[in-house]
Chain A
Amino acid sequence: MQALYAQLLVGLINGSFYALLSLGLAVIFGMLNIINFAHGALYMMGAFCAYFLLNVAGIGYWPALIIAPIVVGIFGMILERTMLQWLAGLDHLYGLLLTFGIALIVQGVFQNYFGSSGLPYAIPDELKGGMNLGFMFLPIYRGWVVVFSLVVCIATWYLIEKTRLGANLRAATENPTLVRAFGINVPRMITLTYGLGVGLAALAGVLSAPINQVRPLMGADLIIVVFAVVVIGGMGSIMGSIITGFALGVIEGLTKYFYPEASNTVVFVLMVLVLLVKPTGLTGRAA
């Protein structure tokens, strides 16, 4: 029984990465109607950015949590300005293809310069060690990841659902022409939104740098799992993607306990089941 609690907690930790990533995807999709295939690559860039901040500029983990998402977010905004915005009005699939191409380029370039085995990134001193919860040894860093990503997720939800800025955003998604008539610069808002979504991916990257080896391909396989999470949750609501992300992590954790061999496939099996019962996903609106 104790081991079960441990697995649930571990699942929650993984769920926080799923939640951060699917949240970023949902934000981008909501505004730009683009499924951002480059999300995994940008997540990886976030982790690399943290590495460089530490090893080149001597800037540690805490500032990196803020700087890396901003740097990668700016990179994302440049992408949006130079490429993605030309796809407005075209079929959504072109956005998917374009971002897939971007992902290949980014991952390929990093692979060439930094090799494949990756780079080390240590846990910040403040979060080293762990505590004995009775049923498991919890590294403090993992606890921090759960708490911090929950806070970020809820803050993002609040920003979009409860503030005036968020209201403008949502309005611009529904009817860009009308919103523009109110004197709001819609293209700039789109760019900033893409930056926000990308920043969330980069933030997840920084968070994972001390846990996972910083490797060029660290996001390549993860993105497919996140896609499945998105299909299961549907992209109807911000809250929906957060809850699905965490829930999926927990379910995966349970599988690791009861039948570890299937822990990589359980997400996809769930996706199939959900599609059979409710094709629009758990919280989704019709596409």
Chain B
Amino acid sequence: MKHRISALLLGTALALAAGGALAQDKNVKIGVLTDNSGLYSDLGGAGSTLAAQMAIEDSGLAAKGWKIDLVSADHQNKPDIGTTVARQWIDVEKVDIFVDVLNSGVALAVNNLVKEKNAIMINTGAATSDLTNAQCSPNTIHWVYDTYMLANSTGQALVKAGGDTWYFLTADYAFGHALERDTAAVVVKSGGKVIGTVRHPLNSSDFSSFLLQAQASKAKIIGMANAGGDTTNTIKQAAEFGIVSGGQKLAGLLLFINDVHSLGLKVAQGLNFTETFYWDLNDGTRAFSKRFSERMKNKAMPSMVQAGVYSGLIHYFKTIDAMGGNPHDGVKVVAKMKEAPTDDPLFGKGTIRADGRKLHPAYLFEVKKPSESKGPWDYYKLVGTTPADQAFRPLSESACPLVKK
């Protein structure tokens, strides 16, 4: 009996000691894995690292005895380099959490690794909706947007606004096909009609022939199921062929504020597309964006990817602070993050779903005319809002094994 009591005491003491040690481990390491030199460097890149830095400063955790380190690397848009860096970060540098990770190929590769090693990824950059669907993971949260949401919100809102005939200009590869398929489904469901589609090869420099076909179709909306340079060149050449001035509307299915900035309002005016963050939405976003832009080399406003890095990390910091220490256990922390509602000045109030999908409203914007804009970066008019619970893929359609049905 005495033995048993002492054993019990010893056990309790050990448990307490372990708990204490756990509570005292207030070290966190954050890895910003992004594209610093390539196609998407404006979208994430140095701005994402800055956003992470600002999240660390604003969290106030340093004053509470936390030690937070930040590393960043350029994955050069190569899944190989991305995984090698990520693996080394986890094994050697003991990185707890990955943010940004734009480029779908890299994101899916890192997603597998993070799951295997029980780390965390808050993905704010990749477009693929697979991250929370077939390839969902208990270690990953997909924060800002995905292809399903973009297609859903843009398609729905535009049909509602009277754009009921669509013609698609689609980049001829898996990504473009997925965007087209998802959007077309929404358009038909909302009562619209798809009257044609043309597939163009990736990285075309000339879109005039495709635009001529779209023009001849007389569709009210030309949906651009492509990305990056293909989209900006399409928009530019559409202006040249007088498509928008001829009464047809261009809808971008994957487009960011940086693209509008680089196109200029003269060319981009009248363009419709969806984002989940815009710097000029409310006082909270304006205050953050002003601070952000002052610290950027080129004074750029934050993109939604960069804003997502900030917002995601703020929620992560809140969670681990409430846990009293860093357990270095990805599944456990992500589960806690899913329990608590999110709230930050950039994306407002929101929740994280079982499949790892962060929910918040989606905004359909129209690009202003040059005469309406008050200055640089004043680009958008808010046209419509899709509420958080309707913007993303419903759980009933989900193929994610984490979703209990």
Of the listed stretches A59-67, A91-99, A137-145, name the one at the interface; the rest are far from the partner chain.
Answer: A137-145
Q: How far is the CA of A222 from the CA of B205 in the complex (A)?
A: 8
Known: A7-B212, A215-B229. A120 touches B266 (CB 8 A): yes
The 10 closest A-B CB pairs, nearest first, are A264-B201, A120-B264, A117-B262, A256-B209, A115-B42, A213-B232, A10-B208, A139-B240, A10-B209, A116-B39
Give every chain B residue within 8 A of A263 (Cβ-Cβ). Answer: 200-201, 204, 209
Q: How far is the CA of A112 from the CA of B237 in the complex (A)?
A: 26
Do the beta carbons of B258 and A117 come within 8 Å of each other? yes
User: Closest CB-CB distance, B167 to chain A, in whole Å?
Assistant: 14
The contact sample of 7 A-B pairs, CB cut-off 8 A, is A6-B209, A10-B208, A10-B209, A111-B37, A112-B37, A116-B42, A136-B212
A119: Cβ under 8 A from any B Cβ: yes
User: Closest CB-CB distance, B302 to chain A, in whole Å?
Assistant: 14
A14: Cβ under 8 A from any B Cβ: yes
Give every chain B residue within 8 A of A137 (Cβ-Cβ). Answer: 212, 215, 241-242
User: Closest CB-CB distance, B46 to chain A, in whole Å?
Assistant: 10
Q: How far is the CA of A145 from the CA of B263 in the complex (A)?
A: 21
Q: How far is the CA of A221 from the CA of B232 in the complex (A)?
A: 16
B280: Cβ under 8 A from any A Cβ: no
Interface string of A220-247 (1 = CB under 8 A from B): 0110000000000000000000000000
B206: Cβ under 8 A from any A Cβ: yes
A260: Cβ under 8 A from any B Cβ: yes
Q: How far is the CA of A112 from the CA of B45 in the complex (A)?
A: 11
Known: A218-B205, A253-B209. A211 touches B267 (CB 8 A): no
User: Closest CB-CB distance, B238 to chain A, in whole Å?
Assistant: 11
Chief secondary structure at chain A's binding surface: mixed
Give every chain A residue within 8 A of B210 (Cβ-Cβ). Answer: 256, 260
B286: Cβ under 8 A from any A Cβ: no
Complex partner residue of B298 from A111, A115, A210, CB under 8 angstroms: A115
A140 to B, closest residue via Cβ:
B240
Residue positions of B touching A, CB distance < 8 A: 37-42, 172, 198-206, 208-210, 212-213, 215-216, 228-229, 232-233, 236-237, 240-242, 258-259, 261-264, 266-267, 298
Do the beta carbons of B42 and A117 come within 8 Å of each other? yes
Give every chain A residue within 8 A of B201 (Cβ-Cβ). Answer: 260-265
Give every chain A residue within 8 A of B233 (Cβ-Cβ). Answer: 212-213
A187: Cβ under 8 A from any B Cβ: no
User: Closest CB-CB distance, B270 to chain A, in whole Å?
Assistant: 16
Do the beta carbons of B240 and A141 come within 8 Å of each other? yes
Complex partner residue of A130 from B203, B241, B258, B298, CB under 8 angstroms: B241
User: Closest CB-CB distance, B68 to chain A, in whole Å?
Assistant: 28
Do the beta carbons of A257 and B209 come within 8 Å of each other? yes
Give every chain B residue within 8 A of A6 (Cβ-Cβ). Answer: 209, 212
Q: How far is the CA of A218 from the CA of B206 in the complex (A)?
A: 11
User: Closest CB-CB distance, A46 to chain B, in whole Å?
Assistant: 15
Known: A112-B37, A260-B198. A117 touches B209 (CB 8 A): no
User: Closest CB-CB distance, B76 to chain A, in whole Å?
Assistant: 12
Interface string of A193-230 (1 = CB under 8 A from B): 00000000000000010111101011001100000000
Do the beta carbons of A116 and B209 come within 8 Å of each other? no
A3: Cβ under 8 A from any B Cβ: yes
A108: Cβ under 8 A from any B Cβ: yes
A122: Cβ under 8 A from any B Cβ: yes
Q: How far is the CA of A193 from the CA of B236 in the complex (A)?
A: 34
Give every chain A residue within 8 A of B40 (Cβ-Cβ). Answer: 116
Do the beta carbons of B209 and A7 come within 8 Å of each other? yes
Give every chain B residue within 8 A of A141 (Cβ-Cβ). Answer: 240
Known: A117-B258, A260-B200. A142 touches B37 (CB 8 A): no
Q: How far is the CA of A176 from the CA of B347 in the complex (A)?
A: 70
Known: A142-B208, A261-B172. A116 touches B241 (CB 8 A): no
A279: Cβ under 8 A from any B Cβ: no
